Each structure stands twice: as structure tokens, then as C-alpha cells.
Amino acid sequence: MLVIYSRTADGAWKMPTHVAGTGFSHDPVADPGGQRDLDGRPMGCGGGSWAAETTPGYPASIVTGRAVPEIRYLAVVKDGHEDRRPLETHFGAWVVCTEQPGPFDVVGLSEDGDVLARLPQSFPRAGAARGKG
């Protein structure tokens, strides 16, 4: 399930009235340690969505994917700014969101901070087709 929360003017999270379902390339029940979907890469992008029009407090983009256990941190790098967070996931699934439109990179880092993967994400221009980044 993809549940997109938004922020209110006072910074509180607002629950949506609708949610969406999406597929996942890995079945953790049938193959708990499997990484075939990553095709030998340390990290892969499963898909994404981009807002046709951005609204303050709502995501401009959402990107999903999966990573190997060696990736311990994810960073979103946009306009020279890096936002790094620990990757706390049992099966390697991850989701990142941006509030501002424009291209960005999703970077996977090791425990020591070494870059193991970089997934550039383009943000479609107004009027362009939306879909996977």
C-alpha cells in the first residue's frame, strides 16, 4: 500500500482520504534473502510518481526501491544539499519523498559512509509524461 501523508500549515501530519496499491519485485515470504530482482546491483529503483502540480505540504515526488543489507544509509541529494537517514528495513525496501520538484539522486551508503549506489531521478517538466524515474 502506498499511503501519502501531507503536512498541515502547523507542521502536523495529515492522513489521506485515499490510498493506492503497488507491486513489489521481491517476495520476502517465498525467498527471504533473495536479491535476484537487484540483478547484481546493490540498490534498485522500483518505481516512482511525480506530482503534476506541487502543493506545499504534499510530496512532489515519491520513489521506491530495494537495497542489499550492506546499504545502511540512504541520502537524497538535491541542489547540492544532502539529507541522510539510516535505512531501517528488514527486507531492504525503501521509500523517499521530496517536497520540491526537480531532479535528485537517491544514494545508498555503507556503515562507514562509502557510496555503494547512486540512482539519479529526473523530475518530468510540466506537461511531460509521468512515471518511473
Task: Report if residue 129 sits inside a domain.
Answer: no
Task: Report if residue 79 sits inside a domain.
Answer: yes
Domain count, the chain: 1
Q: Which residue has the higher pLDDT, 109 or 40?
A: 109
Task: Report if residue 128 sits inside a domain.
Answer: no
- The contacts of residue 5 (CB under 8 Å, 6+ apart) are 13, 14, 15, 16
Task: Report if residue 19 sits inside a domain.
Answer: yes
pTM of the model: 0.71
| Residue 2 confidence (pLDDT) | 61
Expressed as residue numbers, the domain containing 105 is 6-121
Contact in structure between 59 and 97 (CB atoms under 8 Å): yes
- Lowest model confidence (mean pLDDT) among 1-15, 20-34, 105-119: 20-34
Task: Report if residue 131 sits inside a domain.
Answer: no
Task: Report if residue 60 sits inside a domain.
Answer: yes
CATH number at residue 14: 2.60.40.10
